Structure 1
Amino acid sequence: MGHNSFNIAWWNTGLAPGARSKSAQNTLLLALGLIYELLHEQALDLLVLCEISETELRALADLLEASPWRLQSGLQSVGRARFDTCFVYREERLAIAGLLALTHPCGERIRRPGQHLRLLLDQRDQFHCFVSHWPSRVYADKDERNRLGMELRDEVNRVLRGDPEANIIMMGDYNDEVFDVSITEYLQASRDRELVLRKRHLLYNPFWRKLGASLDGDYFSGTIFDWRGEFTRWRSFDQIMLSAALLDGAQWRLDESSANIYSSATLSACLRKHEFDHLPVILNMQKVM
């Protein structure tokens, strides 16, 4: 796709929840194959992975050794918990200018709304990428995720105060759907593109349109599959959201048709066998010429 497109993706691999590896060797090999397929098929410039540990990092480093992509660990210890991410980026185009763990003490615990990744694209264009993996609904109630949304929004506001037209990307597994209050009200991410262009503090969430069943051969109805679901087995917890500047800015603009849930015959089969439970989400931005 060349330098006229900036292609990004997020995938919760499920390999190492809490950065503690639990994957069997065959599952790890499957994941590596899927990552390689995703990088090449989508010509990705940035792929953010979560539920990764040192074990997976070593395997990824070997996989990428002779490739155009490089690997940056996002593993960061925070109290008794850890951020469990890593970043695969195309070296000729992207430089990682900084990585900051966003934390908020709460009694004896520390909340982790996300990580702030600062990027430089093509040695010129700055991006703020906020990466999040919020706690499972098994361990955290909606009030906890609402607080995480509010705290993450505070970080977005801090960037926008410095530059109201900042290029901001939000991506992650929020363990909430696009319509949940933590996303719509606390994080302030809207499906209304025209409103976002007028009220430029709002974020735009193109993944509203991905709530229904897919129309292609790899049937899915969300980004996470749970075979035990009573009324639905699918949820849309994985999302990518953008600031208004990436809708009408002078540098890069969202290609609306590119915001999608990625699947393949191999990945679809893996979900049905419960080897993985999340699908990647992908999105492209086009250079303004």
Structure 2
Amino acid sequence: MRRLLQLARIHHFRSYLGAASLPFQSFNVQTSKDPMNLRLVFWNCGVAPPRARQGAATTTVHAAASVVHAALKTGADAVALCEVDGNTVDQIEEELGKGFRAVSMTKPVGRSRWDLAIFYRSQRLRHRQPVPVYGRDQGSHIRAAQRMELTDRSTNTNVMLYLLHWRSRPAQRSHDHREKAAQLLKERVRKDLRENRRVVVMGDFNDEPFDRSVSKTLSTSRDPHRVMRHPDSMLYNPTWWLAAPSPTEPWEPFGTHRYSYGATSNCYALDQALTSAHYLDQRTRAAPLARTLHFSSLGLPTPGTLDHLPLELTLP
């Protein structure tokens, strides 16, 4: 009997290892023979925060336009911004010139407004008009995300891109607000996943990868094996590594956001990128890569009294 139990345990362990190492094609997710290889950037630029009092901006429009132009010039296919308004979007588009398209998502909602925009290479991409994902809770409007379809012109491959900027931490009932936003976003994203659509989510979550709204409510994971086992309900989070200092350089800043009065740290990974399992392939070791962009790498000085770094996502 003891021998039978040992054999059963060994068989169970081997079965577990086999399940963990199943190739990508074992799951009901279709991969494209022509990967998009897109580079997407998200940045909380601080030009025009919603409900901001006059003079609250941390960046000028010209400085923001310089960063957008530099990112596109150095290989990014699209740059999304938050904390912008309609005038900001128009001015940046004018400074970029030909070859680029701008999509403004700055319409009013309740007592506030959306503050998102995206600028992209028109020869590489095309888009369908964004649709807001929002709801209400105790009279408050919950701005969960803006959902838009991007298409790679060369491969005709589509991706559902969600852009977001959730309520800041010091705001009233901000935790509950972000939790509700995560619930709304999860419902919409899950529909896309079940219809086998490629999904990318980027934004300023004002929560970190390990916070409940992101890890549990949105069903995200840093483990690609786990996401590949649940492709119709989970998202991969490649920004986890940004939430901790380098093991060899613990004195250096980390994350995407600097906040001198933080309760547990001066550095936070509030800006994040999430993807569906379509961009994971165990056989080729392919996975999305997220990193911060330092302004010096773009050949620019740090604009204004900036507290957010741009986040770049490279899709394999």
TM-score range, shorter chain: 0.7 to 0.9
**Paired residue for 1:208?**
240
Cα separation, partners in 2 of 1:29 and 1:193, compared to 1, 3 Å: same
Gaps of 5+ in 1: none
**Paired residue for 2:309?**
279
- TM-superposed CA distance for 1:270, in Å, is 3.2
User: Is the Cα contact below 8 Å between 1:172 and 1:239 reproduced in 2?
Assistant: yes
Normalised by the size of structure 2, how large is the TM-score? 0.78
Deviation per CA, 1:215-235: give whole Å up to 9, x if none: 79xx53110111233642111
User: Is the Cα contact below 8 Å between 2:64 and 2:92 reproduced in 1?
Assistant: no
**Paired residue for 1:7?**
39
Pairing 1:185-200 to 2, within 5 Å after superposition: 185-200=216-231
Pairing 1:113-124 to 2, within 5 Å after superposition: 113-122=144-153, 124=156
User: Is the Cα contact below 8 Å between 2:59 and 2:306 reproduced in 1?
Assistant: no
User: Is the Cα contact below 8 Å between 2:221 and 2:237 reproduced in 1?
Assistant: yes
- 1:157 aligns to 2:187 (yes or no): no
Q: 1:228 aligns with which of 247, 252, 261?
A: 261
Distance of 1:106 and 1:136 partners within structure 2: 17
Report the more deviating stretch, 107-116 or 30-39. Answer: 30-39
Gaps of 5+ in 2: 1-34
User: Is the Cα contact below 8 Å between 1:255 and 1:283 reproduced in 2?
Assistant: no
Distance of 1:73 and 1:192 partners within structure 2: 34
Matched AA of 1:241:
L
Matched AA of 2:253:
F
Distance of 2:237 and 2:125 partners within structure 1: 24
User: Is the Cα contact below 8 Å between 1:254 and 1:284 reproduced in 2?
Assistant: no
Aligned-partner SS, 2:239: helix
- 1:90 aligns to 2:154 (yes or no): no
User: Is the Cα contact below 8 Å between 1:112 and 1:134 reproduced in 2?
Assistant: yes
User: Is the Cα contact below 8 Å between 2:151 and 2:159 reproduced in 1?
Assistant: yes
Aligned-partner SS, 1:39: helix
What value does the CA root-mean-square deviation take over the aligned residues?
Answer: 2.7
User: Is the Cα contact below 8 Å between 1:174 and 1:238 reproduced in 2?
Assistant: yes
- 1:182 aligns to 2:223 (yes or no): no
Q: 2:295 aligns with which of 252, 264, 274?
A: 264
User: Is the Cα contact below 8 Å between 1:150 and 1:187 reproduced in 2?
Assistant: yes
- 1:143 aligns to 2:176 (yes or no): yes
Q: Could you say which structure has the larger radius of gyration?
A: 2
- TM-superposed CA distance for 1:114, in Å, is 0.8
Cα separation, partners in 2 of 1:104 and 1:269, compared to 1, 3 Å: same
Cα separation, partners in 2 of 1:266 and 1:157, compared to 1, 3 Å: closer
User: Is the Cα contact below 8 Å between 1:118 and 1:127 reproduced in 2?
Assistant: yes
User: Is the Cα contact below 8 Å between 1:114 and 1:152 reproduced in 2?
Assistant: yes
- TM-superposed CA distance for 1:30, in Å, is 2.3
More strand by share: 1
Deviation per CA, 1:189-231: give whole Å up to 9, x if none: 1011101111112100011111223579xx5311011123364
**Paired residue for 1:125?**
157
- TM-superposed CA distance for 1:263, in Å, is 0.8
**Paired residue for 1:53?**
85
User: Is the Cα contact below 8 Å between 1:104 and 1:111 reproduced in 2?
Assistant: yes
Cα separation, partners in 2 of 1:25 and 1:270, compared to 1, 3 Å: closer
Distance of 1:127 and 1:166 partners within structure 2: 7
